């Protein structure tokens, strides 16, 4: 069996629903130990993080990823057990097959092949693996990065194995991501009988003009790398469940996906200005999931793009689309971070899968990238 496929199957067979690693990182250590890697585990609140490094010199090339997977959903809707890796119709099925245990398997086998061919390679190789990417992401990669930063350790190039390909393996690389800023707004009124509105104060009616204004604002126009900043309301809740009661409180959940043309502090300030101008009595809690980051189209982007062309014949699109990833944390200690991995059409779905024909090419792309950077 192809070594990358075999390792992907072993990883999928471990039910590592976030934040449980379920022994995946021990398997990675077992494979890398004979290559001369040194290992550090950082375990926090049920999360397992691994920092593995071979070599001391620069440049340091890091592969980053996560062993945790999202819950399976209804088991009866799966065509086969999500934690029994199953091959059929040219696909490997199982939870985490695309997001992102196949990428991790390809990391490991690419490193094994590279070290066998270049035992005295220049620079260093590292793997940063967490079991807290699919969850709240507070005890995972961000904590490893904080540890590296505290001791002055930096990364020169980082490849995050997120499933970035859209239709075909290699058709897209992510060289950055938008920032994500969420807000929980509570507008306070006075509860009362719906037939006596003069004795109450309806927070829904009072908030609607402000919310309409917020939805209409052009927060920024974006730039050549990022689309315009987006403000989206995801949930509105008020009321007691009765149709004859004016509610006392309205709760609104919203999110900004913002480009490098905006800052989190600037967005917060503008929101407060609108709410204050409308005279609302409110509380607003903010949660910053990550700032935007952007990797220039330089050494790393060029190396991965060339590797993709050599292996697949495709010229990848360079994009910052999509949601957030752990790249937002790694960018604090690494000037060049990209994301590249399998086709993402089945991620988080029932019957998640990866094309078996894509597994060996993915391994070769990671291997060719290592050869270009430190071979």
Q: For residues 157 and 59, give the distance between their C-alpha atoms in angstroms, rounded to a whole number.
A: 8
Active site (annotated) includes residue 99: no
What is the DSSP-derived secondary structure letter of residue 309? Answer: H
Q: Closest by alpha carbon to 128, among 150, 146, 151, 152?
A: 146
Q: Looking at 99, 112, 133, 339, which residue is catalytic?
A: 133
- Residue 104 tokens read as 């991790």
Instruction: Say if residues 258 and 192 touch (Cβ distance below 8 Å).
Output: no
What's the CA gap between 98 and 85, in Å, rounded? 12
Known catalytic residue at 81: no
Alpha-carbon span 153 to 169, nearest angstrom: 33
H or E element, residue 337? strand 337-339
Vertex 277 angle, CA 262 and 179, to 5°: 20
Contacts of 217 (CB under 8 A, 6+ apart): 231, 270, 274
Tokens, residue 11: 């990883």
**Nearest by Cα to 320 from 303, 344, 295:** 295
Catalytic residue among 20, 21, 68, 99: 68
Answer positive or negative: Cα dihedral of 128, 129, 133, 139.
negative
3-class DSSP state for residue 297?
Answer: coil
- Residues that are catalytic: 68, 133
């Amino acid at each position: 069996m192809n070594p990358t496929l075999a390792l992907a199957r072993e990883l999928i067979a471990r039910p590592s629903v976030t934040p449980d690693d379920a022994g995946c990182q021990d398997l990675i250590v077992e494979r890398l130990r004979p290559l001369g890697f040194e290992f550090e585990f950082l375990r926090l609140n049920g999360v397992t993080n691994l920092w593995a490094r071979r070599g001391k010199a620069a440049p340091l090339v890091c592969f980053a990823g996560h062993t945790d997977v999202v819950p399976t959903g209804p088991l009866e809707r799966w065509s086969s057990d999500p934690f029994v890796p199953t091959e059929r119709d040219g696909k490997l099925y199982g939870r985490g097959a695309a997001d992102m245990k196949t990428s991790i398997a390809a990391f490991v086998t690419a490193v094994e092949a590279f070290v066998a061919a270049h035992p005295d390679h220049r620079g260093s190789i590292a793997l940063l693996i967490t079991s807290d990417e699919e969850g709240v992401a507070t005890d995972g990669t961000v904590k490893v990065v904080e540890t590296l930063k505290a001791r002055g350790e930096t990364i020169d190039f980082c490849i995050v194995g997120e499933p970035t390909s859209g239709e075909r393996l290699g058709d897209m690389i992510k060289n950055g991501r938008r920032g994500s800023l969420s807000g929980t707004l509570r507008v306070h009124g006075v509860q009362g009988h719906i037939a006596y509105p003069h004795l109450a104060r309806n927070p829904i009616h009072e908030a609607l003009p402000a919310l309409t204004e917020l939805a209409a604002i052009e927060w920024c126009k974006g730039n050549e790398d990022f689309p315009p900043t987006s403000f989206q309301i995801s949930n509105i809740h008020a009321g007691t469940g009765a149709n004859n009661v004016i509610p006392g409180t309205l709760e609104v959940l919203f999110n900004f996906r913002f480009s490098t043309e905006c800052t989190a502090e600037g967005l917060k300030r503008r929101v407060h200005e609108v709410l204050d101008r409308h005279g609302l009595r409110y509380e607003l809690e903010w949660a910053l999931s990550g700032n935007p980051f952007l990797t220039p189209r330089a050494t790393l982007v060029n190396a991965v793009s060339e590797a993709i062309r050599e292996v697949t014949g495709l010229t990848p699109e360079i994009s910052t689309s999509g949601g957030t990833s752990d790249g937002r944390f790694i960018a604090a200690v690494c000037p060049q971070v990209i994301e590249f991995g399998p086709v993402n059409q089945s991620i988080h779905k029932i019957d998640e899968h990866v094309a078996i024909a894509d597994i060996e090419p993915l391994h070769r792309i990671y291997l060719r990238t290592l050869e270009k950077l430190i071979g």
